[in-house]
Amino acid sequence: MATTTLICGISGQDGAYLAKLLLSRGHRVVGSSRDAQLGRFSNLVQLGISDCVEFTSMTPNDFRSVVEVLTRFEPSEIYHLAGQSSVGLSFEQPVETMQSISVSTINFLEAIRSVNKKIRYYNACSSECFGENGTVAANESTPFRPCSPYAVAKAAAFWSVVNYREAYDLFACSGILFNHESPLRPERFVTRKIVRAACLIAAGSNERLKLGSLDVHRDWGWAPEYVDAMSRMLMQEVAQDYVIATGVTHSLKDFVSEAFLALGLDWQDHVTFDPSLMRPNELRMSRADPSRVRLSLGWHAETDMPTVVRAMVAADQEALR
């Protein structure tokens, strides 16, 4: 029988690419959203797989809702990718951020413990948990120093996974993912905002791209590769947490430059600094050491930041045409 996989957050970038990957391997994929009947699932439509997925409504921060879905579909594995995903928005909605990330994680873990302890569980953690580490490349042993409500919630979810793994012998693990992009990234994320604006300007728009600090540094990878790392984590014999990243850090200015360069433009002619876009507490430097996932799971990022940007530009140009 086909492996039944439940993806919570299937409508997002990672959920869509993960669904495509698992379907290609013969999995039965069940995708959840708060209201599946009203869900557009545009990313799944764009990837041409919307008719291959079973959909169900589920509210992750409602324990009974989670138990009902696990009982009905009997998944062998669960990928928990849902929750408030904007660092900036988390400063405005800290309570909702904590509930949608940390409370929902505990609900899944407790539901697995109650319904079927053999279910394998993947939790989406974030590099934001590391906070400001300067020039130190963060690995799985680096202490967390979260500097946003989003990062605090992700850190709480991470330690909940560790606790349930050790206390109840669950197969539960967290992928500590650094930034990863694709054409499916929503425009509220700065990377897609940059690419979209550059394409519009190249097409004749007179708008200017407004950004906060260009001096922030991130490790940017290609989302379709990162979901492969997630799936490898659930195929290992013993559950472990992994840092997933390219291991190469670039500034946001580099990202902006690449986007405009791909269109034959000089970014300095089209970008304006807007201090209102600065976050209350900005993480300036993010560096990763993904050596464990390379040595243990044989995974490494193959797509560098400039290639990621060019792929996003090409997709947006095609969409505009």
This prediction's pTM: 0.95
Active site residue 85: no
Task: Give the three-class secondary structure for 24.
Answer: helix
The number of C-alpha atoms within 13 Å of 275 and in the hemisphere containing its C-beta is 0
Contact status, residue 116 vs residue 74, Cβ threshold 8 Å = yes
Residue 87 has pLDDT above 90, yes or no: no
Mean pLDDT for 181-205 is: 95
Helix ranges restricted to H, the chain: 13-24, 42-46, 63-73, 87-92, 94-98, 104-115, 149-168, 190-202, 223-235, 252-261, 291-297, 305-320
* 189-193, long-range: CB < 8 A, 24+ apart: 189/86, 190/252, 191/220, 191/255, 191/312, 192/312
Q: What is the DSSP string of 42-109?
A: HHHHHTT-GGGSEEEE--TT-HHHHHHHHHHH--SEEEE--S---HHHHHH-HHHHHIIIIIHHHHHH
Residues paired with 172 in a beta bridge: 121
CATH architecture of 183-218+248-282+296-320: Alpha-Beta Complex (3.90)
Per mean pLDDT, which range of 116-125, 204-213, 288-297 is the poorest?
204-213
Residue range 137-147, pLDDT digits in tens? 999 999 999 99
Give the whole-number percent of the chain exceeding pLDDT 90. Answer: 86
The confidence score (pLDDT) of residue 280 equals: 76
Q: What is the mean pLDDT of the chain?
A: 95
CATH number of 4-180+223-244: 3.40.50.720
The confidence score (pLDDT) of residue 229 equals: 98
Query: Catalytic: which of 17, 121, 122, 150?
Result: 150
CA distance 117 to 37: 30
Residue range 103-158, pLDDT digits in tens? 999 999 999 999 999 999 999 999 999 998 878 899 999 999 999 999 999 999 99
The confidence score (pLDDT) of residue 135 equals: 82
Query: Catalytic: which of 11, 32, 126, 160?
Result: 126
Query: Where in the chain do CATH 3.90.25.10 domains reside?
Result: 183-218+248-282+296-320
Contact status, residue 148 vs residue 89, Cβ threshold 8 Å = no
The confidence score (pLDDT) of residue 65 equals: 96
The confidence score (pLDDT) of residue 37 equals: 74
Query: Catalytic: which of 11, 85, 121, 128?
Result: 128
pLDDT-derived band at 84, boundaries 50, 70, 90: confident
Active site residue 128: yes
The confidence score (pLDDT) of residue 204 equals: 93
Residue 282 has pLDDT above 90, yes or no: no
Query: Where in the chain do CATH 3.40.50.720 domains reside?
Result: 4-180+223-244
Contact status, residue 173 vs residue 240, Cβ threshold 8 Å = yes
Active site residue 150: yes
